[in-house]
């Protein structure tokens, strides 16, 4: 299939037959969304997605995994990241992303959406939907996004969060999934310091967490790098360096961080692009004032697989597909991804 072309549902869920070089340091999973590939000892880069289109673009650029966050999903429906959207909203996004791409999906579950019983059921549903990793933070249920200013920060007790994590592990088991649980601590955001953050992270890892996510607002990067250098467990470390953009991937990897996530840059880029485009259209005389700055219809059509629908209709009707004269015979089974991807594309 040409790079960037979208895939139909049954094509997107087919097993990959070969390995493809990814973001310069890894290879894509051969089994779609398999959590074992997310935790295989490699340094990996994740990207924040919040709908099918952003997921397809992320797949085009071959990020190691997808990050579905409450920040982006909330903003996409015009709401703040303050625990307003529920698990059903996130679950719908996970299903959408799973339909579109084969890469592992890591999901931001806030603080688990309730007590341990609620966390169990939310985790089970997410695991059944195809999530490879589920991240649960030690905020209270009435969470406020760590990136928002002006809030007093309080955390759940270590005991309460350990209870959530154990319930989450039981939810994964109930789903018969190999999904992994990532424990996130907001101790640095709450101003409790590296020592307190390490204490919490050790408790969560000892309780069975498969990964630890450390969040920090320190723009120098010193806090999170210090935490990582003092982390002696083999439990993988995750970070989303939104507030410390100058720190490089190499710096994180050298400190011992295994997974770095560009969590919300895509949504923020889309916000800027739409704001500028809408402004030009509001003040311009015609749509031509933005034509040079936006994607063509054909570019979007190719990404989402519009031509593949045309080709599938032709195959099912017993007609030849352009570039494939042997395709006129109706198939006895669903066409393969390779076969459907071989036809012509819309001209950009």
Identify the H or E element spanning 316.
Answer: helix 306-316
Nearest to 111 by CA among 74, 174, 160, 147: 160
CB count in 10 Å sphere of residue 271 = 12
Q: Where are the alpha helices (DSSP H) in 66-154?
A: 70-76, 87-100, 116-128
CB of 238 closer than 8 Å to CB of 182:
yes
Separation between Cα atoms, residue 164 and residue 68, nearest integer Å: 20
Dist. CA 179–CA 53, nearest whole Å: 24
Do 241 and 218 touch, CB atoms closer than 8 A?
Answer: no
Nearest C-alpha neighbor of 115 from the set 63, 55, 159: 159
Q: Which of 303, 269, 272, 248 is nearest to 45 (CA)?
A: 248
The string of DSSP letters for 229-252 reads HH--SSS-EEE--TT-TTS-HHHH
> Which residue among 51, 81, 110, 210 is the active-site one?
81
| Angle, CA 94 vertex, CA 28 and CA 163 arms, to 5° | 100
Concatenated DSSP letters for 161-219? Answer: HHHHHHHHHHHHHHTT---EEEEEE-TTTTT-HHHHHHHHHHHHHHTT-SEEEE----T
For the question of residue 40 being annotated catalytic, the response is: no
Half-sphere exposure of 216 (CA within 13 A, CB side): 24
d(CA 219, CA 215): 12
Two structure tokens written together for 268:
């923020």
SS3 135: strand
Contact 58, 262 (CB under 8 A): no
Q: Which residues are known catalytic residues?
A: 81
């Amino acid at each position: 299939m040409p790079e960037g072309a979208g895939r139909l549902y049954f094509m997107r869920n087919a097993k990959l037959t070969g390995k493809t070089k990814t973001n310069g340091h890894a290879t894509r999973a051969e089994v779609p969304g398999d959590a074992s590939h997310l935790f295989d000892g490699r340094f990996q880069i994740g990207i924040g997605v919040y709908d099918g289109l952003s997921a397809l673009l992320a797949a085009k650029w071959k990020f190691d995994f997808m990050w579905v966050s409450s920040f982006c999903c909330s903003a996409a429906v015009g709401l703040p990241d303050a625990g307003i959207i529920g698990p059903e909203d996130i679950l719908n996004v996970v299903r959408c992303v799973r339909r579109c791409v084969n890469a592992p999906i890591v999901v931001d579950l806030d603080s688990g959406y309730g007590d341990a019983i609620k966390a169990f059921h939310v985790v089970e549903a997410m695991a059944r939907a195809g999530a490879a990793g589920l991240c649960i933070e030690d905020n209270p249920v009435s969470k406020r996004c760590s990136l928002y200013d002006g809030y007093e920060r309080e955390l759940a007790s270590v005991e309460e969060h350990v209870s959530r994590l154990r319930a989450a592990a039981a939810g994964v088991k109930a789903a018969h999934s190999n999904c992994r649980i990532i424990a996130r601590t907001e101790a640095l955001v709450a101003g409790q310091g590296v020592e307190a953050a390490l204490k919490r992270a050790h408790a969560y890892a000892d309780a069975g967490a498969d990964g630890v996510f450390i969040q920090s607002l320190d723009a120098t990067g010193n806090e999170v790098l210090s935490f990582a250098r003092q982390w002696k467990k083999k439990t993988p470390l995750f970070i989303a360096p939104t507030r410390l953009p100058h720190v490089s991937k190499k710096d994180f990897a050298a400190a011992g961080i295994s997974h770095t996530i560009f969590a919300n840059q895509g949504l923020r880029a889309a916000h800027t692009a739409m704001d500028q485009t809408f402004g030009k259209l509001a003040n311009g005389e015609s749509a031509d004032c933005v034509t040079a700055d936006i994607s063509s219809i054909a570019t979007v059509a190719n990404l989402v697989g519009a031509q593949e629908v045309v080709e599938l209709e032709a195959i099912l009707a017993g007609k030849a597909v352009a570039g494939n004269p042997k395709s006129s015979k109706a198939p006895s089974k669903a066409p393969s991804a390779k076969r459907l991807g071989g036809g012509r594309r819309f001209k950009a």
